[in-house]
Structure 1
Amino acid sequence: MAGAIAGALLVTGCGGGSDTGGGGTADAAKKSDQKPNASAPSVPMETGAKKAAWTDRDRTRQLKVAPKRLVQGKQTDLKRVRLDSDVDGMVPFYLTVSYTNTGKETLTRPDPENNFTITLADGTPGRPITLMNMNPLATESGVPKECDKAGPASLPPGSTGEACQIVMLPKDRTPAIVSYTDEASGALMWKIGDGEGYAGTNGLMTVGQSADAMWQDDNRDVPMTVTLTGMRKGDIGDLGRFQLSAAQKKMTPYYVTLRYRNTGTHVLLPTMQDGVGVSTAGGQQIQPMTFMDFSTPGNGVGSCRSAVAHTRLKPKSSLTMCSVHMMPEGDQPVAVTFKGEGRGAHQFGWRVP
């Protein structure tokens, strides 16, 4: 998964110091009073190398990749960097990774570090940022020394390179997983600590618990309650009647069942499966897929079916619906989310076993 690039300029180069773009500025006229962060203790994590693919300009190369070191930084490390508003107030984590070229061709300007990220126990991914190596006064920043250089410009067969990825995470949250994702090889994961990330503090409900939500029908807000009643793993053979892409044939279907109760005074067209998502350990959000099977009422697969077309959910009535989510190879679900529509709509979720 390619990392998102936040608007950060100057200070240091990290895993791609030769980049020339960016969406912000830093104060280059003042010398940072931060001391180097090189002696900061590493966060314990798994570090075993794994076979991976790296897709570059529609070409897939073979690698072995591994996280090597993870250091939690401080907000003040980047105080002279103008960051995008969506990472403002977050804390930097410095992830050093290694990658070995197991193919037969030399790699030019490889950047597989951009496929790494860090996720929380609820599947929320961190936000990777790139800092541009343009400031000669940046050597005294709080960024670890291994992040103060770019990865190798080329990587011959059998050679190993290292690079650093800076990932921003919410303050006071504990990371659970380091993940590497590529479209050609799915997801690879390494646990941080016990891999739980203090899951009990992440605000997720458990299966069977309910939450208030809002959904719209004919531009009218209709209140309801939503309850996760179950989630089960399927088999790709369940979808044998449907035409799947080569990538989808490598995926695993998961079936999510939710019960909706109309607590309003107006009928509701049951399209609520559009608000359902599955958060994964690899930091992805998997939306439902629609499978049309005209042999039986409703849409879906086998016992996982959505509402019959043109039906309405009446006030004070309940309806159970099931959605199909295709999990990429190597990844796994950690939470089910629901986001409503209309006034006051918000997202909430449940932790899955």
Structure 2
Amino acid sequence: MAGAAGASLLMLLAVGCAGASGGAPKPGASETVRPAEPLPMESAARAATWTGTDHKTHPLRLKPTRLALGHPSDLAHIRLDDDLKGMVPYYLTVSYTNTGKETADNLYPERNFTVSGTDGQAGEQVSLFRSNPLATGSGLPPECQEAGKAKLAPGETTAVCQIFMLPKGQKPSIVSYKDDGGDTLLWQIAGTQTGAAGVLPAHKPADAVTTDSDRRTATVLATPKSVRTGSLADLSRFDLSAEQKKLVPYYVTVEYRNTGTYDLLPSLNDNLVLTSASGQQVRKMLLLDIGGPGVPQCPDAVPDKMVKPGASVTECTIHMLPKGDPPASLTFQGDGDGARPVTWRATADPGA
């Protein structure tokens, strides 16, 4: 279903475990400390769950207490992976309380948090690991020292700080939490709902590059028409899995005009990715319906025939997102020579 939010592991006087390769200590780094800049955000405490590797679900109360903008120099003593160089650190501090009746062990709720930018893309979550037993400091940035506790008695509270990296110039928009035992929880960051770099308004036509059935480069003018909230009842003809039945269908409709010189198949929406507020990315849902009526609320293609040069087609695809995690952006990935992603802001209409 949804793509996982960004995650990256670094090494700080350490060796990380599974995940992206990390960095190593950078000798001679400056110890200059620059105060982090707190950002205004929602901080309501909310009921949640944490499901560990033992598949036990523990009830928690989560409360983000601080999101602060750091400075790249905070990580000067880390040799960053190439894909993280030039990005900016944000420090998210969260308190969590064991609201169950039993002691909860192996708690790491920070792993389920995401900080997403105004473009809908999830920031890269960074974990730092210390391997030198003789080191006297944690090596963590001064503004992100809370380590949290993995074991909590009933009613006990602790706090943890998690580092997220976002591209320079990209502001954070949403803090989210997702666990298999419950719906997605969102906390809004104030003053960051507009002005996303590289993101077009919802219905603005844009040129895009694709390929025809012979893999020749072609061009289209793509215009998102709507993103509608669907219903699982619309999909009752299909054999959905238990996990799919927990999700919400969204119907994405886009009109394409063939501005090239080759005939195109009416399947251009195959290039679409819908991104949720928490950064979850999903392509269209595949439904086996040979010769069937499809989903009337979301017709595949109108007209359902080859798209001649100068002609247009309107396509609809179904994308499944977790409950409580609405769409934030829509991206046409593109294909062929000169292709580049085209991204629009996406806000779901209330119903189909």
Tell me, yes or no, if the aligned pair for 1:227 and 1:259 is still in contact at 8 Å: yes
Tell me, yes or no, if the aligned pair for 2:128 and 2:140 is still in contact at 8 Å: no
Equivalent residue for 2:350?
A: none
In the alignment, the residues of structure 2 paired with residue 77 and residue 314 of structure 1 have an alpha-carbon distance, to the nearest angstrom, of 55
CA apart distance, 1:184:
2.3
Equivalent residue for 1:82?
A: 79
Among 3, 10, 25, the residue aligned to 1:8: 10
- The alignment status of 1:333 with 2:331, answered yes or no, reads no
How is 1:115-154 mapped onto 2 (pairs within 5 angstroms)? Answer: 115-134=112-131, 139=137, 143-145=141-143, 147-154=144-151
Structure 2-normalised TM-score?
Answer: 0.87
Equivalent residue for 1:15?
A: none
In the alignment, the residues of structure 1 paired with residue 71 and residue 205 of structure 2 have an alpha-carbon distance, to the nearest angstrom, of 36
SS at match of 2:42: coil
Equivalent residue for 2:40?
A: 44
Structure 1-normalised TM-score?
Answer: 0.87
What number of residue pairs does the alignment pair up?
341
Among 311, 319, 322, the residue aligned to 2:313: 319
Q: CA RMSD in A?
A: 2.7
How is 1:193-232 mapped onto 2 (pairs within 5 angstroms)? Answer: 193-194=190-191, 196=193, 198-199=194-195, 201-232=197-228
SS at match of 2:73: helix
Among 169, 185, 190, the residue aligned to 1:188: 185
SS at match of 1:71: strand
Q: Deviations over 1:295-324 (max 9, x none)?
A: 655xx4113121499942222211111001
In the alignment, the residues of structure 2 paired with residue 10 and residue 54 of structure 1 have an alpha-carbon distance, to the nearest angstrom, of 27
CA apart distance, 1:348:
1.0
CA apart distance, 1:11:
6.4
Tell me, yes or no, if the aligned pair for 1:122 and 1:279 is still in contact at 8 Å: no
Q: 1:34 to 1:161 in 2, by over 3 A?
A: same
Tell me, yes or no, if the aligned pair for 1:288 and 1:323 is still in contact at 8 Å: yes
Among 249, 262, 266, the residue aligned to 2:262: 266
How is 1:20-99 mapped onto 2 (pairs within 5 angstroms)? Answer: 23-27=22-26, 29-30=27-28, 32-35=30-33, 37=34, 39-57=35-53, 58-99=55-96
Tell me, yes or no, if the aligned pair for 2:96 and 2:159 is still in contact at 8 Å: yes
Tell me, yes or no, if the aligned pair for 1:2 and 1:115 is still in contact at 8 Å: no
Tell me, yes or no, if the aligned pair for 2:207 and 2:219 is still in contact at 8 Å: no
Of 212-221 and 113-122, deviating more is: 212-221
SS at match of 1:86: helix
Tell me, yes or no, if the aligned pair for 1:46 and 1:190 is still in contact at 8 Å: yes
SS at match of 1:103: coil
- Letter of the structure 2 residue corresponding to residue 8 of structure 1: L
Q: Deviations over 1:156-209 (max 9, x none)?
A: 12111211110001112211111111122131000111451x435443233142
- Letter of the structure 1 residue corresponding to residue 8 of structure 2: A
Q: Deviations over 1:20-46 (max 9, x none)?
A: 67632113x5364222x5x53421111
SS at match of 1:182: coil
Of 237-246 and 92-101, deviating more is: 237-246
Percent same amino acid at aligned positions? 41
**Structure 2 unaligned spans of 5+:** 348-352
Of 218-227 and 135-144, deviating more is: 135-144
Q: 1:140 to 1:239 in 2, by over 3 A?
A: closer
- Letter of the structure 2 residue corresponding to residue 329 of structure 1: K
Q: 1:352 to 1:138 in 2, by over 3 A?
A: farther
CA apart distance, 1:140:
9.6
Tell me, yes or no, if the aligned pair for 2:113 and 2:176 is still in contact at 8 Å: yes
Of 120-129 and 134-143, deviating more is: 134-143
